[in-house]
């Protein structure tokens, strides 16, 4: 058995593109390692390091996902299936939103919480700056909900704003682009790579809904030099992971991330008279008082509550899946 380590550079439905010892290879999952098991195993995603059984005449066999330093997950819409890993082993999470109707504060709050949970450092990238005449309004909203988080307003047409992102393109660093369809992720990738690698679509102005252009996850090597339209040259050398657009991010696990992203609410909750306060009709509720006097935004509070409910639902679903797997494996042992 010839076992080697490979990097996942693209993830399709049932097949993975790998980089092994400097060469491109392809792999499929070993059924007994990922399906016939009593545990909820991690399925590979872009950025993962995996152990493979090499096959020089066909697809290699992926037998194991190696430990991750970071991972971005979302709830699987298919009942009975584990959470979906969107990307792994990155340093920075570029939360991309376009400077138009796609920009929503509640959406940004969600991405921030899950980004902090992932183990990466969030960076907010506001795209299509060349089409926006009132960017100060959007920047003000960002500063309210993401104090201390770096952000940039960029244009993939003019190259504006890319200079502020130069440190994140450095050798040895990996960034992942996350956001809705049509916000400009593919155009961003093309700008950084200096070539038309990705198909680009756009946003329907009527409803700000994006058109899907990226259909699977993949990573690219950033060139050592990034040439901007105005003639300036940035230093590169790292990796960039592009992902399909996420229409609605449903939380699977984000408790630690929420403690960072919603630090103000967490602190208020700790000031309630009762430690088990439900923030409803209880006397001495700091949350209720903040909502009444306007120091806590009602929409922000609703987003926080929604995310908590989603995380609780996801945790319950994981327990159910674990019990089903245990029952399934115990039956097999009897025969």
Q: What is the pLDDT of residues 230-265, one digit of tens each?
A: 899 999 999 999 998 787 777 777 788 898 999 999
pLDDT in tens, 316-326: 777 777 677 66
**The CATH number of the domain where 265 resides is what?**
1.10.40.50
Any idea what the CATH number is for the domain that residue 121 is in? 3.40.50
Q: What is the per-residue pLDDT for 273?
A: 93
**What CA–CA distance (Å, rounded) separates 327 from 323?**
6
- Do residues 227 and 107 share a domain? yes
**Mean pLDDT for the stretch of residues 110-133:** 94
**For residue 224, is it left (φ>0), alpha (ψ between -120 and 50) or beta?**
alpha
Same domain, 167 and 113: yes
Q: What is the pLDDT of residue 287?
A: 95
Q: What is the pLDDT of residue 52?
A: 96
Q: Is residue 80 part of a domain?
A: no
**Residue 237 and residue 101 share a domain:** yes
Residue 296 resides in a domain: yes
Q: Are residues 118 and 209 in the same domain?
A: yes
Let me know if residue 73 belongs to a domain: no
Into how many domains does the chain fold?
A: 3
- 196: pLDDT confidence band, cut at 50, 70 and 90? confident
State which of 220, 242, 264 marks the end of a domain.
242
Do 63 and 191 lie in one domain? The reply is no
- Per-residue pLDDT, averaged over 46-50, amounts to 97
Phi, psi dihedrals of residue 162, rounded to the nearest 5° = -70, -25
Condensed to tens digits (0 to 9), the pLDDT of residues 177-194 reads 999 888 989 899 999 999
Return the CATH number at 55.
2.40.50.140
Average pLDDT over the chain reads 87
pLDDT at residue 167 is higher than 70: yes
Task: Give the mean pLDDT of 126-144.
Answer: 93
Q: Are residues 7 and 142 in the same domain?
A: no
Asked if the model's pLDDT at residue 57 lies above 90, the reply is no
Confidence of residue 64 (pLDDT cuts 50, 70, 90): very high
- Residue 17 shares a structural domain with residue 116: no
Strands of 99-197 (E only): list them.
Answer: 121-127, 151-153, 174-178
Domain of 117? 86-242
Same domain assignment for residues 94 and 214: yes
Q: Does the pLDDT at position 70 exceed 60?
A: yes
Planar angle of CA 243, 245, 247, nearest 5 degrees: 145
**Residue 145: CA atoms inside 13 Å, Cβ hemisphere, count?**
23
Q: Is the pLDDT of residue 130 over 80?
A: yes
pLDDT of residue 207: 46
306 and 231 share one domain: no
Share of the chain above pLDDT 90, in %: 62
Among candidate residues 89, 102, 91, 80, the one with its CA nearest the CA of residue 46: 89
**301 pLDDT above the threshold of 90:** yes
- Token readout for 18 is 């790998």
Is residue 247 in some structural domain? no
Confidence at residue 13, expressed as pLDDT on a 0 to 100 scale: 80
Same domain, residue pair 206 and 102: yes
pLDDT of amino acid 113: 92
Domain contains 48: yes
- State how far the alpha carbon of 191 is from the alpha carbons of 186, 223, 279, 308, in Å: 9, 11, 47, 37
Last residue of a domain, one of 176, 210, 242: 242
Per-residue model confidence as pLDDT tens digits over 203-234 = 444 444 444 455 578 999 999 999 999 899 99
Residue at 72 is within a domain: no
Q: Do the beta carbons of residue 94 and residue 33 sit within 8 Å?
A: no
Check residue 102 and give its pLDDT. 82
Q: Which residues pair with 72 in a beta bridge?
A: 87
Distance in angstroms (rounded) separating the CA atoms of residues 43 and 45:
7
Classify residue 77: in a domain, yes or no.
no
Asked if residue 172 and residue 107 are part of one domain, the reply reads yes
43 part of a folded domain? yes
When pLDDT is averaged across residues 171-178 and rounded to a whole number, the result is 96
Least confident of 49-58, 164-173, 196-205, 260-269: 196-205
Give dist(CA 107, CA 45) in Å, integer.
24
Tell whether 227 and 268 lie within a shared domain.
Answer: no
């Amino acid at each position: 058995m010839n076992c080697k380590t490979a990097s996942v550079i693209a993830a399709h439905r049932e097949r993975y593109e790998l980089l092994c010892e400097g060469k491109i290879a392809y792999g499929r999952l070993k059924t007994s390692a990922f399906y016939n098991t009593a545990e909820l195993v991690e399925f590979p995603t872009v950025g993962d390091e995996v152990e493979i059984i090499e096959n020089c005449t066909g697809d290699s066999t992926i037998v194991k996902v190696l430990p991750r330093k970071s991972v971005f997950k979302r709830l699987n819409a298919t009942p009975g299936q584990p959470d979906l890993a969107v990307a792994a082993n990155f340093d920075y999470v570029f939360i991309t939103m376009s400077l138009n109707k796609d920009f929503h504060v509640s959406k940004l709050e969600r991405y921030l919480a899950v980004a902090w949970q992932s183990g990466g450092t969030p960076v907010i990238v506001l795209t299509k700056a060349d089409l926006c005449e009132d960017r100060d309004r959007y920047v003000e909203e960002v500063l309210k909900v993401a104090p201390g988080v770096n952000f940039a307003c960029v244009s993939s047409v003019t190259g504006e704003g890319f200079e502020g992102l130069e440190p994140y393109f450095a050798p040895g660093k990996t960034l992942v682009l996350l956001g809705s369809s049509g916000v400009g992720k593919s155009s961003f990738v093309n700008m950084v790579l200096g070539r038309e690698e990705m198909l680009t679509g756009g946003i329907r102005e009527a409803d700000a809904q994006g058109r899907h252009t990226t259909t699977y996850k993949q990573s690219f090597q950033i060139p050592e030099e990034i040439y901007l339209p105005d003639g300036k040259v940035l230093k590169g050398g790292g990796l960039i992971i592009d992902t399909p657009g996420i229409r609605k991010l449903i939380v699977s696990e984000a408790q630690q991330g929420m403690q960072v992203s919603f630090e103000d609410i967490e602190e208020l909750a700790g000031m309630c008279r009762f430690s088990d306060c439900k923030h409803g009709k209880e006397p001495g509720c700091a949350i209720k008082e903040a909502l009444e006097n306007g120091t806590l935004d009602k929409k922000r509070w609703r987003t926080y509550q929604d995310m908590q409910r989603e995380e609780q639902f996801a945790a319950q679903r994981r327990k159910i899946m674990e019990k089903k797997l245990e029952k399934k494996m115990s039956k097999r042992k009897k025969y």
